[in-house]
Every structure is written in C-alpha cells, then in structure tokens.
Chain A
Amino acid sequence: EPEVTQTPSHQVTQMGQEVILRCVPISNHLYFYWYRQILGQKVEFLVSFYNNEISEKSEIFDDQFSVERPDGSNFTLKIRSTKLEDSAMYFCASSVSQEFGSPLHFGNGTRLTVT
C-alpha cells in the first residue's frame, strides 16, 4: 500500500539554526499537510497546502515557518530559526481530495530536538 515517507526520522539541531523537514506524499494525492505533536500532547494542525499555495494555516505557523513543494514529489517544512519550544514530532500528511472527510494519510514523523 502506498505510504507517506518522511526524512529524517530524527533531527537534532541547535537553537537558532534552520531545519528542513522532508516528506514524500502519496503520488496521486493533491493536498498536503503538516502537523506537530509535542511530547505528551495532542496532534496539532500547522498548515495545509494545495496547488502550490497555502490553503490554511494555524496560529502556530508564524513567519518562522514555511512550506514548499520544490518538485513533483517532495513537500518540505522549513523552520528558519529554531527555538527550544519547536522540539516536537512533525507529521506530514496527504489526502487525495480536500472534500470534507477525505481521510488523511500520515507519515511516521520526524522527531525534532532543539538544544
């Protein structure tokens, strides 16, 4: 069964550094998402992306964050200047449609540790 893949599985970075988290969504999916989960907390929506632009973003997704689909397969999340509180699991997801209720397919995440 096709799956969403994320790399790296674990990223350690120093505060203030830039990180890029990478995702390869399922090939025929058109809608892409990033979520994050701080340890012990709930899965939180960051951003949705379609047709090379952001559809919706949460309050968490401030100017430090950006997303890009640099080619036909990858979808990236960049954090420009990481803070300690950015430490979390970051999940990429994709869906075939943005129709209400279209299930999201998640990757297994990148664990980001900011020291």
Chain B
Amino acid sequence: SQKIEQNSEALNIQEGKTATLTCNYTNYSPAYLQWYRQDPGRGPVFLLLIRENEKEKRKERLKVTFDTTLKQSLFHITASQPADSATYLCAPTFSGGYNKLIFGAGTRLAVHP
C-alpha cells in the first residue's frame, strides 16, 4: 500500500533562513501533490498544488518541487518568519482516488526570532 513519509522530527530554524520540508512516497507517483498548513486546534489550510508533470511551483515565499524519480516533494519557505511556525502536511492524490486526500503525518516547523 502507499506510504507517505514526512520528517517526523520538528524542524527548528532561525528567522530569515529557508525552511525545507520533505515528503516522500512509495510505489505509485501521485497525479497531484498538495501542501497544507495546520495550526494547533485548527483545520488544515491549502497552500500549494503541484502536478506530476511540473517540476516546481512558487507562490510568494513558498516553493514546491516534485521529483517523480526520487518519489519526493520538497516544500521551501524562504525568508522564514515566526508566523510561519505551524505543522505542514503533504497530501498526494493518486489516480483513481477521486479527490480523497491522504495526508502525511506532517512536519512541525518552529521559526525562532
């Protein structure tokens, strides 16, 4: 069965640095991969989507890459701020799965002033 793996350890970085979060999957490549942000006690919020035929997608300080050979997506936040502190979830969508999102466990990011 499909497995989705995200860095299980929390990521601690200094304000102003670039945060890089990893999402690895096994077996089949997803048709799409979405990234969400989740704050404590709140629902996930959609950030970015990347398609399997796209290598990179950007939105303001956010960048997502998708490497189907490595079976990996990287999520970057440049010029990080304390307000970026949250848990970041990746959610691949596989063909035939309608739009059912299966989330990874998430990576908690803490940006320190």
Contacts and interface: CB of A to CB of B under 8 A. Distances in A.
A101 B95 CA distance: 10
Interface residues of A, number: 29
Contacts of B89: 42-43
Contacts of B95: 100
Main secondary structure of the interface of B (DSSP, over half): loop
Interface in A83-115: 89, 91, 93, 95, 97-109, 111
What is the interface residue range for chain B against chain A?
20 to 34
B44 interface: yes
B4 to A, nearest CB: 9
Nearest to A89: B41
A42 B99 contact: no
Listed from nearest, the 9 A-B pairs whose CB atoms lie closest are A106-B43, A101-B32, A103-B46, A42-B105, A43-B103, A98-B99, A91-B43, A100-B31, A108-B43
26 contacts: A4-B43, A33-B100, A42-B103, A43-B89, A45-B102, A48-B99, A56-B97, A56-B100, A89-B41, A91-B44, A98-B98, A100-B32, A100-B98, A100-B99, A101-B34, A101-B49, A101-B93, A101-B99, A103-B46, A104-B46, A105-B46, A106-B43, A106-B44, A108-B41, A109-B42, A109-B43
Interface of B: 31-32, 34, 38, 41-46, 49, 51, 89, 93, 95, 97-106
